[in-house]
Structure 1
Amino acid sequence: MNNFLSPRQYFMSTQPYCSSFTDPHIGHVYTAIIADAAARFRRLIGYNPVIFSTGTDEHGLKIQQASLLAKKKPSLFCDIVSASFKETFNRCEISYTDYVRTTEKRHRENVHSFWEILSDRGYIYKGKYEGWYCTADEIFVSEDLTTVIKLPDGREQRVSSESNRPVEWSSEENYLFKLSKCREQLIRWMENGPVVRPQRHYNLLKSWLNQELFDLSISRPSTRLSWGIPVPGDASHTIYVWLDALLNYLTVAKSSQSGTNNWPPSVHVIGKDILKFHGIYWPAFLIAAGMEPPKSLLVHGHWLVDDQKMSKTTGNVVSPHSCIDLATVNGFRYFLLHEGVPASDGNFSMKMMVRVANTDLADGIGNLVNRCCGKNLNPLQTRLAVNSSSFEACGSVGLELLQLLQSTPDTVHDEYLNWNFYKGIDNIMALVRGANGLFQIMEPWRLKKEGQTDKLNATMAATMETARIVGILLQPIVPSFSERLLDKLGVPRTERSWEFASVRWSTKDQPLGEQGPVLFPRIKSELYQE
């Protein structure tokens, strides 16, 4: 087995801030769960410390307008929505180490300091900026990236080709950032290793950088945008929300015990819709400030709902809370990581989530654990000593399972490391099917009845060893489910890191833990049955 614990390197797993003008949906949570699985995995293999940040981006015109519609002060509006995001992430078992709001004092101070660095280095100047502005995306859009559509009432509306959101012509004096000056360095950064994954998003970013970059407006008149961080020394302008929001990563680094010694971040986990902000603007800001850009970006697709784009207009926005209420947090997390493929969009349905959770967590893993921990076949409630002869005594099916057990941890390690959580899960479930298959073929209930104690013990030992390894490997995916599984098997807390994921022979039986309720009760809902 690989020596997974040798490189105790620092790792920083971050995700983009969730804009606080809307309630959390499964797209927000998907980003958080991917980042969380990565952070948990790296803790298991010995990275220390792992700093994992999330939070809420609370400035900008969208939030200013949303608070006005809600008839609340922007600060109170943000307090309510940020608390909602934090509660949702906690319920989804997101193991963040820092939850930062961009309205915090530490962040405002960081933004002001960074602005002054850019200004001192000659990257900020004042000038007239005009073009098509998309309020929903909070960005100027070049005319070739807009199109005119006809509305249902017959009126024409110019929209962004990328987001399909309305744009309006704007001409104003702003502070500008010399983005054009950073193009060559951005290209070198992008080509220096696998910076952007998956490949399709790397190719898209490369195509953008092959085009001319124009200087970027990084302020808005405070008469139009008052809710934000004012430009240092010029209160008549408010700092552009994306410069403000992206600096949350640096705020986190400065707030950590090791300070900016942990810079640059190892990875930003982002949705594909904000690749340009993280793949062009953010590294350009850092390069201009004399800092290293992030080491990598993990870019994931979006979730469709029953093959349709999720939107408030169609009324098909899925709340994480409704998913957890139906399938528990373990069923919900498992489904998103099992069905989500970073390179493409996923398709969500409640019916599919129920089917996957019941098949794998209840009928697959749950059934396996219940079988080997049940008092009927395990009256002494012990995890039996196991060695190679345990598998050999089960014949060819036992030897096949042993071979799979010996190779799977390395395979899962590599898949997790490459962000292919769905492939890692598939390999783990192959173990579960192998162990359940062994149980069916060996028929331990028959062995007990016939008094074939040695074969019975061998079957139980092989099955329990498989369940133990499955529990360890699944910890990044379904942490509380795995915790209960390992508790049931009586696995000590000190023996749950990745080094214990390999087959381990033992000479002594170990007592099982408290059994309690079944590991994952089947979800019974008439609305979502096949």
Structure 2
Amino acid sequence: MITSIRPILPASRSPSTSPPSRKPYYITTPIFYVNADPHIGHLYSDVIADVFARWHGYMHSGYSPSSSSLPEDDAVRPLLSTGTDEHGLKIQRVAESAGEDPRLLCDRISGRFKELADAANIDYTGFIRTTDSDHKIAVEHLWRTLRDKDLIYKGSHEGWYAVSDEAFYPESAVHKVSNPTGEEMQSIETGARVEWSQEENYKFRLSAFRQPLLDWLRADARSVQPAKKHAEVLAEVEAGLSDLSISRPRSRLSWGIPVPDDPDHTIYVWVDALTNYLTVTGYPLSPKAWPADVHVVGKDILRFHAIYWPALLLAAGLPPPKTVLAHAHWTMGKAKMSKSRGNVANPFEAIQLFGLDTLRFFLMRVGGSFGSDADYNPSVLVEYHRKHLQGQLGNLLSRICAPKIHARLEGFPQDATTNCLIRPSREQLDPLMDADALALCQNLEAALQELPSKADMGMHAFEPAKTLEAIFTTIAMANELTARLEPWSPQTPVPVVVECLTLVTECLRISGLLLRPFMPGKMVELLDTLKVPPEQRVRRKDLIVTDGEGRLVSHVVQRGKGEGKAKPLFPRIEVEV
């Protein structure tokens, strides 16, 4: 009999002061169900995880995907796992209705999800399928661990079961709904059709883990994000937990992993699926990456990840994840995307139409506040591209690379080691600039020196939209300075031209490094155009480089006469929407 269970809780965390450890930063996407082709919501989950993995790799682990070698001995590549969930009654029924072998169905659709991850430039370290043999070993080991601790028992179970959600719902969580075909019972939370099910199966003693879950949730407000979701999960656990059905009779569900030592039962698909996060770490042999730093999930599957999964882990003697990040959904025309409405956005087509990095930027800028749904509107996407990427970032790069400007720099002093122009001193500039121009320069320089920490704070708070907003606010300041100083004008003194180019180039260089997790392809192009050496794109300490007086050091490399205009970084999108 269970008497007391003590939670294994993670240590407290700091956003950037902790030295890198040998444990890799470990982030996961949900594994995607293979009953249909991927949609824009799946791409959204992929991009969220990829952005955070790349950000942590660059800002905290000394790792860059574009670097051919690790810069430091203690640099560790982040672990990003994605993949497909391939068992369960829903897959079984879809395969039966199509007259297709379940394995062939899974192979085909799982391949589409992997194609999407590759097309989206997701830097994943593993793509797991729950039909993999090593995953079966992990699931069976977890089951036996819980069984040997007397945390699994056989009993009768009845309730409302949603095939599409692969979940049982209590009477309080369903209601009767009228539709054109008659009346049916549906889940209040998801709108899925439910059917009454009564059977004998195995149960997990979830009720015994109410207090350990409360301890985990209360120990760290970041255990579930956003804060509103943390409050919802906490309230649900405080209200009490019932034991969880974790198997189905094999006569009803044959497409799944059999219960160890009982071939008449199949392991519940969610126990199977959730264990994938352990499988990719090498469990049960040596899960060195555990616990997960972040599980990225949709808000509709939060209960499984923030209640059931931590309880299963605690029961097995493993620490729960550090953070379960529940993102909202994408709508179209303010309505929930669904095939029946014909408003599901195809991610492959979107990448082709708008360009990958523009799409990634849009998903994180508009959908990067995870607490509320975002509307997928192609016309808004094109406007964001025109205004922010083309008009602000791309235009600024084209301006400061103009041959007309660089022709005026011939003969200006250069650093013999770096070949970069030597920034004019304050004493040189004061008589050449009025007070307003000097103030613009000082304000931009101060903003640039604060930007990396400000951006990192936004990412630590799981607010990528605010991080992007901070970066583009600084880019707007650089555009304002350029318009004010007019470095292309023959009337602008050359030292002022160099000062303008120094600050604007620094803005582009620093912004380009910070934007790489969001737009990795385009930011490589930007840094190449600025002639930033590859070895200066790897370490966080390369972000801000100052002289003895605390002033930013110039990274302006004079462009040669034969180079001509810089290629547009973000060409106009020629698509009618």
Q: TM-score per shorter chain, which class?
A: over 0.9
Q: Deviations over 1:258-316 (max 9, x none)?
A: 93233211121111101100011101111111211111111111111121111111110
Q: Deviations over 1:19-50 (max 9, x none)?
A: 11111111111111111111111111232241
**Does 1:222 pair with 2:250?**
yes
**Does 1:241 pair with 2:253?**
no
| Selected match of 1:32 from 43, 46, 50 | 46
Q: Deviations over 1:196-250 (max 9, x none)?
A: 1111101110121122311111111112111111111111111100000000010
Partner Cα distance (2:90, 2:425) in 1:
63
Alignment of 1:372-383 (within 5 A): 372-379=400-407
Q: Is the alpha carbon distance of 1:117 and 1:373 closer, same or farther for their aligned partners in structure 2, counting shifts above 3 Å?
A: same
Partner Cα distance (2:343, 2:309) in 1:
32
The count of residues paired between Structure 1 and Structure 2 equals 522
Residue 32 of structure 2 aligns with which residue? 18
Residue 323 of structure 2 aligns with which residue? 296
**Does 1:522 pair with 2:522?**
no
| Selected match of 2:314 from 287, 304, 310 | 287
**Does 1:323 pair with 2:370?**
no
Residue 56 of structure 2 aligns with an amino acid whose one-letter code is R
Q: Does structure 2 conserve the Cα–Cα contact (< 8 Å) formed by 1:5 and 1:46? A: no
Partner Cα distance (2:470, 2:87) in 1:
43
Q: Does structure 2 conserve the Cα–Cα contact (< 8 Å) formed by 1:266 and 1:296? A: yes
| Selected match of 2:188 from 161, 172, 188 | 161
Partner Cα distance (1:74, 1:229) in 2:
13
Residue 72 of structure 2 aligns with which residue? none
Residue 511 of structure 2 aligns with which residue? 470
Residue 344 of structure 1 aligns with which residue? 372
Q: Deviations over 1:130-175 (max 9, x none)?
A: 111111111111011110011124x211111111111111111111
Unaligned 5+ residue runs, structure 1? none
**Does 1:143 pair with 2:175?**
no
Residue 19 of structure 2 aligns with an amino acid whose one-letter code is P
Alignment of 1:81-480 (within 5 A): 81-153=109-181, 155-194=182-221, 195-254=223-282, 259-340=286-367, 341-379=369-407, 384-386=421-423, 389=426, 394-446=437-489, 449-450=490-491, 452-480=493-521
Q: Identity across aligned pairs (percent)?
A: 39
- The DSSP-based 3-state class of the residue aligned with 1:254 is coil
Displacement of 1:128: 1.2
Displacement of 1:71: 2.8
Residue 65 of structure 2 aligns with which residue? none
Displacement of 1:450: 3.5
Q: Does structure 1 conserve the Cα–Cα contact (< 8 Å) formed by 2:32 and 2:42? A: yes
Q: Deviations over 1:368-397 (max 9, x none)?
A: 111111222224798644466498655222
Partner Cα distance (1:351, 1:384) in 2:
42
Q: Is the alpha carbon distance of 1:23 and 1:391 closer, same or farther for their aligned partners in structure 2, counting shifts above 3 Å?
A: farther
Partner Cα distance (2:195, 2:465) in 1:
42
Q: Is the alpha carbon distance of 1:238 and 1:328 closer, same or farther for their aligned partners in structure 2, counting shifts above 3 Å?
A: same
Q: Does structure 2 conserve the Cα–Cα contact (< 8 Å) formed by 1:383 and 1:464? A: no
Q: Is the alpha carbon distance of 1:338 and 1:386 closer, same or farther for their aligned partners in structure 2, counting shifts above 3 Å?
A: farther
Residue 542 of structure 2 aligns with an amino acid whose one-letter code is F
Partner Cα distance (1:68, 1:374) in 2:
63
Displacement of 1:57: 0.6
Alignment of 1:40-51 (within 5 A): 40-47=54-61, 48-51=76-79
Q: Is the alpha carbon distance of 1:31 and 1:386 closer, same or farther for their aligned partners in structure 2, counting shifts above 3 Å?
A: farther
Q: Deviations over 1:87-116 (max 9, x none)?
A: 111111111111111110110111111111
Q: Deviations over 1:430-457 (max 9, x none)?
A: 11111111111111221xx247322222
Q: Is the alpha carbon distance of 1:461 and 1:129 closer, same or farther for their aligned partners in structure 2, counting shifts above 3 Å?
A: same
- The DSSP-based 3-state class of the residue aligned with 1:522 is coil
Residue 42 of structure 1 aligns with an amino acid whose one-letter code is H
> TM-score, normalised on structure 1?
0.94
Residue 510 of structure 1 aligns with which residue? 557
Partner Cα distance (1:512, 1:126) in 2:
75
Residue 519 of structure 2 aligns with an amino acid whose one-letter code is V
Moved more, 199-208 or 392-401: 392-401
- The DSSP-based 3-state class of the residue aligned with 1:354 is helix
Q: Is the alpha carbon distance of 1:43 and 1:508 closer, same or farther for their aligned partners in structure 2, counting shifts above 3 Å?
A: closer
Unaligned 5+ residue runs, structure 2? 1-13, 62-75, 411-418, 547-551
| Selected match of 1:484 from 522, 525, 537 | 525
Residue 117 of structure 1 aligns with an amino acid whose one-letter code is T
Displacement of 1:466: 1.2
Partner Cα distance (1:346, 1:123) in 2:
41
Q: Does structure 1 conserve the Cα–Cα contact (< 8 Å) formed by 2:424 and 2:498? A: no
> TM-score, normalised on structure 2?
0.86
Partner Cα distance (1:27, 1:337) in 2:
12
Q: Does structure 2 conserve the Cα–Cα contact (< 8 Å) formed by 1:386 and 1:465? A: no
Q: Does structure 1 conserve the Cα–Cα contact (< 8 Å) formed by 2:398 and 2:566? A: no
Q: Is the alpha carbon distance of 1:429 and 1:133 closer, same or farther for their aligned partners in structure 2, counting shifts above 3 Å?
A: same
Q: Is the alpha carbon distance of 1:511 and 1:55 closer, same or farther for their aligned partners in structure 2, counting shifts above 3 Å?
A: farther
**Does 1:78 pair with 2:119?**
no
Q: Does structure 2 conserve the Cα–Cα contact (< 8 Å) formed by 1:383 and 1:512? A: no
Q: Does structure 2 conserve the Cα–Cα contact (< 8 Å) formed by 1:472 and 1:498? A: no
Residue 24 of structure 1 aligns with an amino acid whose one-letter code is P
Residue 208 of structure 2 aligns with an amino acid whose one-letter code is K
Partner Cα distance (2:58, 2:161) in 1:
46
- The DSSP-based 3-state class of the residue aligned with 1:445 is coil
Residue 20 of structure 2 aligns with which residue? 8
Residue 97 of structure 2 aligns with an amino acid whose one-letter code is L
Q: Does structure 1 conserve the Cα–Cα contact (< 8 Å) formed by 2:206 and 2:244? A: yes
Displacement of 1:507: 6.7
Q: Is the alpha carbon distance of 1:388 and 1:39 closer, same or farther for their aligned partners in structure 2, counting shifts above 3 Å?
A: farther
Q: Is the alpha carbon distance of 1:387 and 1:324 closer, same or farther for their aligned partners in structure 2, counting shifts above 3 Å?
A: farther
